[in-house]
Chain A
Amino acid sequence: MTETTHLILNGIPVEDTFAEAFDVAGTAIVVTNDTARWAMIAATTMTGFATSVIGCGAEAGIDAELSPEETPDGRPGVRILLFGFEPNGLKEQLIKRVGQCILTCPGTAAYAGVEGPTKIKLGGAIRYFGDGFAVAKRMPDETGKMRRYWRIPVMDGEFLCEDTVRAVDGAVGGGNLLFLGRRHADTLQVAEIAVEAARAVPGAILPFPGGIVRSGSKVGGRTKGMMASTNDAYCPTLKGRVGSNLPPECGVVLEIVIDALTSQGVADSMRAGLHAATEIGARHGLVAVTAGNYGGNLGRHHYHLRDLIAKEASA
C-alpha cells in the first residue's frame, strides 16, 4: 500500500484522503399508487438500469417511501431522485423513464418532488401520448400554490402527471467510500450496513446494485477510446504489482457511491456510511476505509474523510 497517513475511527484505519464528486443536474419526482406495493413497483422499474450516468444516461434511486399524508393525492408514494450530467440530458431521461415506466404502470400518478430554478416539462411532453384527448387541469396543492396537471386517458382510467417538474441547482454526484476488507461476505455485510445508513439521509441515493459497486473505475484505460477502466490499484488480484494500493491482508474492496440533491446531503450521507461501517468493521475484518478521487482536478466537490470523522458537521 502506498505511504499515506491514517486516521482511526472506531479502531478502523481511515485513509486521510478525499472523495471527489461532480456537479450534476438533479430532480425528484413523487409517484403514487393505490397501494404502497404498486408505487414501489413503479419506482423500482423507473430506477432500473440507472447506476452510472456514463452508461445509463442517468443515475436514479429511491429516496424515500411516503405515507398517504405526505403525497399530493393522499395515496402511498415513493420519492425518486434522478441525476444527469446536464439539464437537457436529465430531461430526456426523465421523459423516457416516466413515459416507459410510470405511464405504463397500472394506477400510478406522478408529481414534482422538489422545488428548483430549472423547469422540466414532464406531463407537458407525455401528454402527446394522449393523442389530443388529454386535458390539463390547474389545481392548488396543499399549500395553496397552483399546479398544473395533465390527465391522459389510458386503459385503466387516467394517467395524472404534473405538467412541469423542477431541476435543482447544486446537486452533486459521485460521493464515495471504499471498504477494504478481508473476506467477500464480511465486506459485503459492512458495505450493506453503510448503504443503509447512507440511504437514510434525505435527498441522497446510492444508484448501484444494492447501493454497492464492485467495479470501481479510473478515468481512461490502456485500450484506446475507453472512457473508464477498472480501478487496478484496488483490485485484489493485482496486489503486489507496482501501483497497487492494497495491503497484503486485503482480499476484497467494495465501494458505495452517493448522489444527492445538495452537497451537504453527500457529506451527511458519506458521514453516516463511514460511521456505520467502522462501528461494525472490526467484527467483519474491515482492514481500512478510503475514498476515490482523480487527484482533485476533475470534480469541484472534495469530501475529506478527515472532516467526516466527527459525528456532526462542523459549523
Chain B
Amino acid sequence: MSVLTLREAPPERLDLHALTPLALSGLGQAEAERLPIGTSRRGLVLGDCFSVKLGGADELVIEGGHERLDRVGAALSAGTIRVEGDVGQRLGAGMAGGTLTVTGNAGPFAGAGATGGTITIEGDAGDHAGGALHAAKAGLDGATLVIRGRAGAHLGDSMRRGLIVAGEAGAFAGARMIAGTLAALRVGDHAGYGMRRGTVLVGAHGTLMPTFVETGTHDLVFLRLLARMLRPVSPGHADLLNGTPRRYSGDLATIGKGELWVAA
C-alpha cells in the first residue's frame, strides 16, 4: 500500500490523474516525488505537496483531501485508491476499472466517462456527477458511481451505460441519458430531461417534465433484476422497488425509450 499525505492546502489546482497504485509501485522514491502534478507554470511535483510512502501495487491511500485535488483516479484500471478527505473535479473521469473511494465530498464531473470499476463518494458530489465533460458525447459509460450524500444538478447527464446510485440529486438528474440506470432517494425538478433510453428510479421528485407520460404500475421481471443489482450497492435504493412503483415513459421529446420509476 502506498500512502500520500497532503502537507498543506495546495497553492493551485493539482492534476493527480497519473497516480495509480500500480504506477507508483514501479517507481523509486525520488522518481515518485518528481512526478509533475501542477497545473500552472509553477511546475509543482508530487514531493512539493505530499509526503510519499511507496508500497504495493494494490492500494493507494491519499491522506488529507482537498477540493483542489483534481482527476484523482482518472487513469485507474485496477487496484484501489482511497482518499481520506475531499477531492476536486473529475474524480475518476474516464476510469476503466478498480475501486475508488472518497470519504469526503467531490467536485463536479465525478465519474465522467468512466467505463468500469466502482467509484464511491461518502459525502456529496458536485454538479454533473457521472455526466459528460464539455464536448464529450457521453457521461458515465459502464462504471458504478455511488454517492452516499447529495449530488448536484445534472447527475448522470448523457450517461450511456452503468449505474449511478445517489442519496439525493439536484435538478435535471438523468438529463439527456443515452442509456444506463440511475437511482436516487430524491431528485429535483425535470428529472430525465431529454433522456433517450435508460432507467431512472426515484423515491421522490420535483416537477416532472410534461413530456413524460404515466404508464401505470407494472410488475415486471426487470424490476426483480434491478432490485438484485441495487441491493449489494445500497439496500435502501433496492427497497424503493418494494410495493408497486409507478412508471413514467419519456422523454417523448426524444425517442422516448427511457423510463422514470417512482416508488410507491
Q: Chain A: residues with CB nearer than 8 A to chain B?
A: 32, 72-75, 109, 133, 135-140, 142, 149, 151, 157-158, 160
Interface flags for B212-235 (1: CB within 8 Å of A; 0: not) read 000000111110111011000000
| Residue of A72, A136, A137, A142 with most chain B CB atoms under a 10 A cut-off | A137
Is A73 touching B257 in the complex (CB atoms < 8 A)?
A: no
CB distance from A148 to the nearest CB of B (A): 11
B199 within 8 A of A: yes
With beta carbons under 8 angstroms apart, the residue of B197, B219, B225, B228 that contacts A135 is B197
User: Which DSSP category, helix, strand, loop or mixed, fits chain A's interface?
Assistant: strand
What are the residues of chain A within 8 A of B190 when measuring CB–CB? none
Say what secondary structure dominates the interface of chain B. Answer: mixed
A15 to B161, CA, bound (A): 61
Instruction: Please give the distance in Å from A156's CB to the nearest CB on chain B.
Output: 10
Instruction: State in angstroms the CA–CA spacing of A137 and B221 once bound together.
Output: 12
**Of A72, A133, A136, A157, the contact of B225 (CB 8 Å cutoff):** A72
- Contact present for B221 and A109 (CB under 8 Å): yes
Question: Measuring CB to CB, which residues of chain B are less than 8 angstroms from any residue of chain A?
Answer: 161, 179, 181, 197, 199, 218-222, 224-226, 228-229, 257
B225→A139 contact, CB < 8 A: yes
Q: Is the CB of B222 within 8 A of A137?
A: yes
User: Which residues of chain B come closer than 8 Å to A142, judged between CB atoms?
Assistant: 228
CA distance A184 to B179 in the complex (A): 62
On whether the beta carbons of B218 and A74 are closer than 8 Å, the reply is no
CB-based nearest B residue for A161: B221
6 A–B pairs (Cβ distance < 8 Å), ordered by A: A74-B224, A139-B228, A151-B222, A157-B220, A158-B222, A160-B225
Task: Across the A-B interface, give the 9 residue pairs with the lowest CB-CB distance, nearest first.
Answer: A160-B221, A73-B224, A109-B221, A139-B229, A158-B220, A73-B221, A139-B225, A135-B257, A157-B220
* Chain A residues with CB below 8 A from B219, complex form: 157
Contact at B225–A149, with CB atoms within 8 Å? yes
Q: Contacts of A149 on B, CB cut-off 8 Å? A: 222, 225
Contact partners of B181 in chain A: CB under 8 A: 137, 139
**Closest B residue to A134 using CB positions:** B257
The smallest beta-carbon distance between B195 and chain A, in angstroms, is 12
Chain A residues with CB below 8 A from B225, complex form: 72-73, 137, 139, 149, 160
Name the distance in Å between A123's Cβ and chain B's nearest Cβ.
12
Please give me the residue from chain B that is nearest to A74 by CB atom: B224
Contact B221 A75 (CB under 8 A): yes
Chain A residues, Cβ within 8 Å of B257: 133, 135
- Complex CA gap A158/B218 in Å reads 9
A160 and B219 alpha carbons, distance in the complex (Å): 12
Complex CA distance for A151 and B218, rounded to whole angstroms: 13
A142 nearest CB neighbor, chain B only: B228
Contact (Cβ within 8 A) B224 A139: no
Query: Smallest CB-CB separation from B116: which chain A residue?
Result: A146
- Closest CB in chain B relative to A146 CB, distance in Å: 9
Given A73-B224, A139-B228, A160-B220, 8 extra CB contacts under 8 A: A73-B225, A137-B181, A139-B181, A139-B225, A151-B220, A151-B222, A158-B218, A158-B221
Q: Which residues of B contact A137 (CB under 8 A)?
A: 181, 199, 222, 225
Contacts of A73 in B (CB 8 A): 221, 224-225, 228
CA distance A160 to B225 in the complex (A): 10
A158 to B221, CA, bound (A): 8
| B226 CB contacts on chain A under 8 angstroms | 139
Q: How far is the CA of A32 from the CA of B197 in the complex (A)?
A: 26
Evaluate contact between A75 and B220: CB separation under 8 angstroms. Answer: no
Contacts of B229 in A (CB 8 A): 139-140
Which interface residue of B179, B218, B219, B228 has the most chain A CB atoms within 10 A?
B228
Residue pair B228, A160 in contact (C-beta under 8 Å): no
In the bound complex, residues from chain B placing their C-beta under 8 Å from that of A160 are 220-222, 225
Report A158 CB to chain B, min CB distance, Å: 5
Chain A nearest CB from B100 CB (Å) reads 18
CB distance from A88 to the nearest CB of B (A): 29
CA distance A136 to B196 in the complex (A): 13
| Bound form: Cα–Cα A142–B222 in Å | 15
Closest partner residue, chain B, to A137 (CB atom): B222
CB contact between A74 and one of B199, B220, B228 (< 8 Å): that residue: B228
Q: What's the nearest-Cβ distance from chain A to residue B229, in Å?
A: 5
